[in-house]
Structure 1
Amino acid sequence: MVSEAAEIKGSSEEIDGEGAFKDRVRSAVIWRSGSQILAQIVTWASTLLVIRLLDPADYGLFAMTQVVISFLAFLNGWGFASALVQSDSVDPFRIRQAFGLLLLLNAMLAGIQYLGAPFAAAYYGQPVVAELLRVQALIFLATPFIALPEVMMARKLDFRRQAIVNLAAAFAGAGTALGCALAGLGVWTLVYAPIALFWTRAIGLTLIARLLVWPSFNFRGCGQIIGFGSAILFTQLFWLVQSQSDVFIAGSRFAPHALGLYAEALFLAQIFMAKFVPPLNEVAFPAYSRIKDDPAAVRWGLIKTIRLLMLIAAPFYCGLAVAAAPIVETLFGIKWIGMVPYIQLIALALIFMTVQILFAPVNNALGRPSVSMRVSLCGAILFPTAFLIGAQWGLIGMAWAWLGAAPLLLLVTARLSAPLNGVSLADIGRAMLPGLVPALVMAIAVGFVSEAIAGYGLAAPIRLALLVMLGAILYGTLLWLFEREALAEVRRLVLRRRSAVEPAA
């Protein structure tokens, strides 16, 4: 059934005025980001309990399977569905075509992963990897029932209903993880929890969007979907080469225990970039699509996003780097302390990566996914090369590779994207400085204090609490003294009422 079929065509173009549109975007950001924060609190609470029950080797084995899944997932057809967001109008038959594509592609991927699992296990020299991959193939079968409702609700900036389902899925995944860990299932805990999460989202989104349609396998006339989706597909492929090549390279060179430490360090360092920035980009893509004919508004929106995001991201990453040791000891336990040097280097690199990934939704919304594809191609060359060089010095060398490659990729992204969105490298630098400079000063001061109190024998949670408190006070004071305009901008964003009037970009 498609109960909202009459509303679909052109519904995303109904704008009640500039102020109303800004309020809808603001509401979408609050619902999407707010639900993400709550979902992550639930997930992290479960993860911190589970991680104390499992062994680093379990996470090493799981990381090996994730490389395979990620390299197949770029073909899951999400880009074809995303074309519905960027289109000026969508009819029910186009939706059925997109659903048919999603079903075909994901059924194929599930079959490939199931049949190819023994080859992956042979590469890693770990027979259990084959068993894990075969069960994880169920994730692909859920993808069509997640992607289609998500993009159709995103087209109308409807993220409230998505938030409800995402929270329910987070509880389902967290509960499954904790139950499996307590039952002593080991690495299988990390397999069953995502499956529970994905299928809860699939069922919930399909029902709440009321978008259960009969698929069409007649693909005539869907050239726009294929063209746009193909560019997104290759962008995702190159991104996966970039983001998974370190574990792929390390998997055949280092023991599962050592790889597990590196993989979890990567997970912790990437929490902000991987968990909180993508929801913003999910809102940004349909929002930029709505104003794509106003270049000044697009440019202003991107610069403002960078500036506001760095006010949060910069202190997070800098604080993570200087307080890595008490954070790991407090949250993970002493057996994970080997993660610390990896976290420190990767966290600093991700300051640049967090800004870099903000450009893709802008380029895609402007109808030029080929620019994002070229950027991803550069990343797919730059990062694996850096990892191969860094691997000569062990896993710490691969962490240094992150710090060397990330700023270079941001530079490439700015150069390739500037002719399209009008944002220069100088604009990016000016937008980053209000958050980055105070964060660096704060990190240096906190680092000195951390060294000073290290010899007093304080418990890790106490040291962490002291450092976090000191960092928050220092960063807030520096912003108050030197960046009051940035603070005022955040306050206006959070407290703005629907009746407020803002000048046009």
Structure 2
Amino acid sequence: MTIRPRSVGSEPRGSGAGLTSRTVSGLLWTAWGKGGHALLQVAVVVVLARLLRPADFGVVSAALVVIGFSAIFSEIGLGPALVQRTELETRHLQAAFSASFLFGLVLAGIVALGAPLLADFLRMPPVVPVLRALAWLFPLNSLAVVPEALMRRQLRFRWLANLEVLSYGAGYGLVGTVLAMRGFGVWALVAGNFAQSLLRLIVLLIAQGRPPVGVLPEGRALRDLMYFGSGHTVARVAHYWALQGDNLVVGRWLGPAALGLYGRAYTLMATPAALFGEILDNVLFPVMALVQGEQQRLALAYRRGIALIALIMLPASALLCVTAPEIVGVVLGPRWTGAVAALQILGAGLLFRTSHKMSDSIARATGAVYRRAWRQGVYAALVIGGAWVGQHWGIAGVAYAVLVALTINFLLMAQLGLRLSGLQWRSFWSAHLPALNLAVASGAAAWAVAGALRHADLPAASVLVATLGITLGWALLLVRYAPGWFLGQEGLWMLETLRTRAPFARGSASRPMAAELR
């Protein structure tokens, strides 16, 4: 069965109501997929931790660091290029399928042959056979590039969300657990990774049909895709180093103990922000690509997006800064108090860590991948250089340097987003005002409540739960009785959209694309 390409320009668009409904539905389904995956991950780790040795996890984790970095190059941006491209023909699908598979084979061979050198670098000889086995995930995953890109292009978010939960639970979770119970050790984890990828591929092929296959990619079609794909890959590499550069500096100059403290603080800040940002990006990139030629709709979507991110992240940032001592004490334990200051500093940048995703989505949706790439390069340089300077003042100095880098990256990406959407800086900043009002009011309440409870010498868990509960109640009262001040136009729009359209998310997600856009 051949997958027939969809020409975006030929599809009926009509009013934005259908696309808005589909976007809201997509956000809800994607949140379910990411949340369900996270819960399953915790459950599987709890089970496997009782069946396998720490060394087994360590070997696979070390191998996956190499695989994870190499994966940036595995599809060379061809999947996102298929999503972004306005006019898509069968030859583009053939070129993407052939090129991604061939490149996956080459990359697998390189990693397999270089496994001994990588093991020497990691000082972990047992990683060699594991790395050689996991390297063959590249050609396996490359077979899913075209079907998954078409699913995203068609905004089939419900399918993708359920697939994420199914493939992890029935693939990695079930296979890995059964083999671990049978004593396969580290190979249970390896097999779990393969089972997850294989199940994902099978379901995608069932949903989309067999992609058009060619022995070699057609040159012109490949060039059409590679302009976008190359810029996308360069940006991903730069962003990877921006996320890892501070850890490298701390580990190299401050040692493993400092890295442990800093790493836990960064994880507590970044994990919810990254999850939220990933949900937004998975939905907004294909949606914005669909309307990339309509600047007015892009501007409206961009303003609404940044306003809604701010409404969540600014109050969350205030709460994180206030309750950081309790969060560290409850989640990590009393031995980790050295991470509190770094968490408070990094927590102040929660908005910057998340909001740039909107600009990132619009840049990729409109094909501005090289303008995005150089900004990510600047971001990486600021993180690494700033962390090196900041390490002279310990992990707090590194945290301040990363906060500065996050702020500059936020502004650079905002400037790009504004240029692409046609939105003005004044409109950009005014979109943040309701969230800022809510953050100040919520933060003040949290500070007062937490201070009083600490003075009463209550346990950290009690202080944390009570502070969060009272602050949440206070915030709900504020938005209930003064919505204009604390929600703004965009917040009220989202509430109304959820009220009127979320109940129909299931139905709208399954209707054909053309019907959705009428």
The 2-side partners of 1:472 and 1:183 are apart by 47
Q: 1:104 aligns with which of 88, 95, 102?
A: 102
Equivalent residue, structure 2, for 1:15:
12
TM-superposed CA distance for 1:227, in Å, is 1.0
Matched, 1:237 2:234: no
Equivalent residue, structure 2, for 1:209:
208
CA contact (8 A) 1:321 1:347 kept: yes
Equivalent residue, structure 1, for 2:511:
none
Matched, 1:246 2:246: yes
TM-superposed CA distance for 1:360, in Å, is 1.8
CA contact (8 A) 2:376 2:409 kept: no
TM-superposed CA distance for 1:401, in Å, is 2.0
TM-superposed CA distance for 1:123, in Å, is 4.1
TM-superposed CA distance for 1:102, in Å, is 1.2
The 1-side partners of 2:182 and 2:404 are apart by 43
Q: Deviations over 1:419-439 (max 9, x none)?
A: 322234433322223223322
* Mean CA deviation greater in 211-220 or 73-82: 211-220
Equivalent residue, structure 2, for 1:115:
113
* Mean CA deviation greater in 216-225 or 172-181: 172-181
Equivalent residue, structure 2, for 1:385:
385
Return closer, same or farther for 1:359/1:485 CA change in 2, 3 Å cut-off: closer
TM-superposed CA distance for 1:459, in Å, is 4.2
CA contact (8 A) 2:8 2:86 kept: no
Equivalent residue, structure 2, for 1:87:
85
AA of the residue aligned to 1:28: G
Q: 2:147 aligns with which of 146, 149, 165?
A: 149
**1:74 counterpart SS class:** helix
**2:220 counterpart SS class:** coil
The 2-side partners of 1:325 and 1:60 are apart by 29
TM-superposed CA distance for 1:352, in Å, is 0.8
1:468-479 → structure 2 map (5 Å cutoff): 468-479=468-479
CA contact (8 A) 2:273 2:354 kept: yes
Q: 1:71 aligns with which of 65, 69, 72?
A: 69
Q: 1:483 aligns with which of 474, 483, 486?
A: 486
AA of the residue aligned to 1:209: Q
AA of the residue aligned to 2:169: F
Return closer, same or farther for 1:337/1:47 CA change in 2, 3 Å cut-off: farther
The 1-side partners of 2:257 and 2:11 are apart by 54
TM-superposed CA distance for 1:407, in Å, is 0.7
TM-superposed CA distance for 1:302, in Å, is 0.3
Unpaired runs of at least 5, structure 2: 505-518
TM-superposed CA distance for 1:138, in Å, is 4.3
Equivalent residue, structure 1, for 2:436:
436
The 2-side partners of 1:129 and 1:166 are apart by 27
Unpaired runs of at least 5, structure 1: 500-505
Query: What RMSD, in angstroms, separates the aligned Cα atoms of the two structures?
Result: 3.6
Equivalent residue, structure 2, for 1:494:
498
Q: Deviations over 1:289-340 (max 9, x none)?
A: 2222221111111011111122122233332333334334444555555544
1:413-424 → structure 2 map (5 Å cutoff): 413-424=413-424
TM-superposed CA distance for 1:271, in Å, is 2.0
Equivalent residue, structure 2, for 1:405:
405
Equivalent residue, structure 2, for 1:503:
none
The 2-side partners of 1:112 and 1:306 are apart by 41
CA contact (8 A) 2:99 2:217 kept: no
**2:218 counterpart SS class:** coil
The 2-side partners of 1:41 and 1:221 are apart by 44
* Mean CA deviation greater in 152-161 or 193-202: 193-202
The 1-side partners of 2:162 and 2:402 are apart by 36
Return closer, same or farther for 1:11/1:419 CA change in 2, 3 Å cut-off: closer
Q: Deviations over 1:366-402 (max 9, x none)?
A: 2322221222122122221112222333333322222
| Matched length | 496
State, as a whole percentage, how many aligned pairs show the same letter. 26
**2:143 counterpart SS class:** helix
Equivalent residue, structure 2, for 1:295:
295
Return closer, same or farther for 1:191/1:12 CA change in 2, 3 Å cut-off: farther
1:1-80 → structure 2 map (5 Å cutoff): 1-2=1-2, 4-5=3-4, 8-10=5-7, 13-15=10-12, 17-18=14-15, 19-46=17-44, 68-77=66-75, 79-80=77-78
Structure 2-normalised TM-score?
Answer: 0.83
The 2-side partners of 1:88 and 1:426 are apart by 31
CA contact (8 A) 1:60 1:256 kept: no
* Mean CA deviation greater in 208-217 or 143-152: 208-217
The 1-side partners of 2:195 and 2:324 are apart by 31
The 1-side partners of 2:328 and 2:176 are apart by 20
The 2-side partners of 1:436 and 1:131 are apart by 52
**2:432 counterpart SS class:** helix
TM-superposed CA distance for 1:165, in Å, is 0.8
The 2-side partners of 1:183 and 1:220 are apart by 49
* Mean CA deviation greater in 330-339 or 177-186: 177-186
Equivalent residue, structure 1, for 2:342:
342
The 1-side partners of 2:237 and 2:229 are apart by 12
Q: Deviations over 1:89-142 (max 9, x none)?
A: 323332121011111222233333333344444445555565664454344344
CA contact (8 A) 1:71 1:241 kept: no
TM-superposed CA distance for 1:354, in Å, is 0.9
CA contact (8 A) 2:93 2:211 kept: no
The 2-side partners of 1:177 and 1:336 are apart by 32
The 2-side partners of 1:325 and 1:181 are apart by 38
**2:217 counterpart SS class:** coil
CA contact (8 A) 1:107 1:141 kept: yes
**2:349 counterpart SS class:** helix
Equivalent residue, structure 1, for 2:327:
327
Q: Deviations over 1:217-275 (max 9, x none)?
A: 23322221111111111111211121121233334445555534433433332223322
**1:496 counterpart SS class:** helix
Equivalent residue, structure 1, for 2:161:
163
TM-superposed CA distance for 1:469, in Å, is 0.2
Q: Deviations over 1:192-236 (max 9, x none)?
A: 765554444333323333235434423322221111111111111
Return closer, same or farther for 1:84/1:45 CA change in 2, 3 Å cut-off: same
The 1-side partners of 2:466 and 2:383 are apart by 36
CA contact (8 A) 1:59 1:264 kept: no
Q: Deviations over 1:135-180 (max 9, x none)?
A: 5434434421343222101111111211211111232445677789
Structure 1-normalised TM-score?
Answer: 0.85
**1:15 counterpart SS class:** coil
